[in-house]
Amino acid sequence: MMDLDMDAEHDRPSNPLDLIERLAAFNNWTFDRDSDDELSVSVTGGWSDYHVAITWLAEVEAVHIACAFDLKVPDRRRNEVLQLVSLVNEQLWLGHFDLWSTENVVMYRHALLLSGGAEPTEEQAAALIKAAIDACERYFQAFQFVVWAGKSAKEGLEGSMLETVGEA
């Protein structure tokens, strides 16, 4: 049997959220540091404004990101949205989508594991946020199609996978 020491304390020269806060300031994103372990960031995308919550989870040494957009899922579309979440998650290499049951909001979630006292790099912090925004941008229309156009999960996903060229 493998012996895993999960109780090791590691001294960190800085809080990993400090780096992400600097990244938000550099990009002129609106942000609020709710506590030492919580940061809220607003990012404007092509389809929506994204609400990004970034949390430092010291007990598991991970930076967790949750990215949501303004789309309240009505109860009558809940099952179809859950099917869409499953289909979308099959397409993702990083992170996953959830339907947050208390608020009926779709959100993307992912984490950056920093075990053993590892410090995040600027590139890792940027990639964490980029992965979240890119996934939300990629599938935003699929969720819109299912919630507001009454499409099936499969139709919503197919509609969002069409590649467009140019601008109108």
Q: Which tokens belong to 67? A: 């990215």
pLDDT at 101: 87
Nearest to 45 by CA among 20, 69, 22: 69
Average confidence (pLDDT) per 10 residues, the chain, 168 residues: 53 84 95 94 94 95 95 95 97 95 94 92 95 96 95 92 58
First to last CA, the chain: 61
Q: Kindly report the pTM of this predicted structure.
A: 0.86
* CATH classification code of 16-164: 3.30.1460.10
| In contact, 87 and 153? CB cutoff 8 Å | yes
Q: Residue 45: left if φ>0, alpha if ψ -120 to 50, beta else—which one?
A: beta
| In contact, 61 and 10? CB cutoff 8 Å | yes
Cα–Cα distance for residue pair 10/35, rounded to 1 Å: 20
